[in-house]
Amino acid sequence: QSALTQPASVSGSPGQSITISCTGTSSDVGGYNYVSWYQQHPGKAPKLMIYDVSNRPSGVSNRFSGSKSGNTASLTISGLQAEDEADYYCSSYTSSSTLLYVFGTGTKVTVL
């Protein structure tokens, strides 16, 4: 079972929108609506941003939104702000016999 595939880096200017993709298979992303997204600033623990594909936990800005099509999930950050600069990881439930969770490879978001 390999990690979910994310672009290594995505960048945008303040106020712009960016989208991060997360590609898996029918055994994980495509087969279940159990995709989450985490934000991680350097030296800090991850923070839950989106769960069950498109749900936002209480306290997370509505500038963050999630979606899924087939085997690819996406996280969109609209109105990009300096504090959004961080690493982002997707995760999914997997029917693999060797894992419970599978994480994405991670995407570094840079605010230009």
Binding site for another protein (CB under 8 A): 3, 34, 36, 38, 45-48, 51-52, 57, 89, 91-93, 98-106
Cβ nearer to another protein, comparing 13 with 98: 98
The answer to whether residues 66 and 53 touch, using CB atoms and an 8 Å cutoff, is yes
Please report how close the Cβ of residue 55 comes to another protein at its closest, in angstroms.
Answer: 9
Cβ nearer to another protein, comparing 60 with 63: 60
CA 81 to the chain's CA centroid: 17
- Angstrom distance (rounded) from CA 102 to CA 91: 6
What DSSP state is assigned to residue 8?
Answer: S
Please report how close the Cβ of residue 103 comes to another protein at its closest, in angstroms.
Answer: 4
Cβ nearer to another protein, comparing 90 with 111: 90
- Angstrom distance (rounded) from CA 88 to CA 37: 7
Helix, strand, or coil (residue 99):
coil
Please report how close the Cβ of residue 32 comes to another protein at its closest, in angstroms.
Answer: 8
